[in-house]
Structure 1
Amino acid sequence: STPRYQVRGAGGGHGTAGRGAGGTPSMRGQHRQRLAPSQEGGEQRPRCLAMPEPPRCPASRPQLRLAALNVPLAGDMSGIRGADLQCYRQSQEARLYGTFRAFLSAPTQDLVSIVKRTDRTLPVVNMKGQLLAKSWSSLFEGQASAAPRGPIYSFNGRNVLTDPLWPRRLAWHGSTQRGGQARKRDCQGWRSSGPGEGLAAPLGEGRLLAGQRHNCSEALVVLCVEVAFPYRHMW
């Protein structure tokens, strides 16, 4: 017999899909569903399943948001403080009132230390709340499963893995895999766009701290991470 299709309603009951004018089946409410077979009376009958999407963290749970600056930059960012300032300004323009700092190691700081110890167990998410890593600490433990594989968005909402503004899909970091400064691999403390080298990671491969050497004249992704949070509840 020909399989019939049914939709499970909010109350858990079964029924045939609604019909529009002229008996045409209506697909209202099914735009994010797909049909899968179910058994009823020995007959294969489809049921609706939600389409998979990247896991999300509840907005009420503390989390570390990771974003990219709105344009790629070469190695001269006016130092680590200049990079931090750009993260701060662009987050404010996007009405994100936490404090964002550049995802970079430099002579004056190790990347791993920019997040407070008490916050290093928090999950890392993108600007849409989709999970990128189970925790800040997991990024520096060398676990392949901890590497971000979800989309990374700029402060103005562009996906840096697909947008042509970032053709290289590489992000500066200047760090060892443990989050320390990689000596002589940070474009002279992020003050040089000359012949020096800096370490960058291929974002499309999900290895956020891969140690690829790149010329400081290349314009690459610069990431920012939230290190302090606005008050969500006053009482």
Structure 2
Amino acid sequence: MKLENKIAVVTGVSRGIGLAAVHALLEQGAKVAGWGRTNPDVQHEHFEFVECDVRRADSVQMAYKHTVEHFGGHISVLINNAGLGRSATLEDQDLEEWHLMFDTNVHGLFYCTRLVVPGMKEMGEGHIINISSIAGTTGIEQMSAYCATKHAVRGISHSLYKEVRDYGVKVTCIYPGSVQTNFFDNIDSVTVNDNMMRPEDIASTIVHCLESHANYHHVDIEVRPLMPKGRKQV
């Protein structure tokens, strides 16, 4: 897909992968709507911040309406990036945090995706990119709730791509390992460090997928830091 003048939506845009994706898309000439609760410092004529809480279907509906009216057309790209994680054993998992993770990581993705699919099918073109995690392919101790949400993202992605592929619409699920973002702010056992991947690395992968040939479909992409504990000494 040629991204120039295409309408793209990125959720969770205040920082991290979402913000990096916004900058990468703008560099390719896309018109970008950033859906989120905090307005990022992005000054660009083709960027529109739309206040949105993806946990609420009505908020997503209003964001969608504003976006198509502001840019005047169907959305060609949706990057479901909004997400969060909390650490706890299953037996100690706080109920409110359990629901917070599912409302954000799973229900939010559903609310956003269901609105853009009809327009993409009508155009015969579109690309939905879901940011899952390594936690979406394996279990992680003291992260059972988060893993459950990211496994759900994987399941949704695999089912949806089979539903829309014959309409010319792509669905890609990306599974990053550790990235230098605020995700770890609430996880005491992990400290952000330079051995993690950079948000702009994930953004470059996103752009690569979006710009691929119309009949070339990235279904699953797993990315990890090469040396997560630093370079070994010989």
TM-score, scaled relative to structure 2:
0.25
Higher strand residue share: 1
Higher helix residue share: 2
Quick one: higher RCO (CA 8 Å, sep 6+), 1 or 2?
1
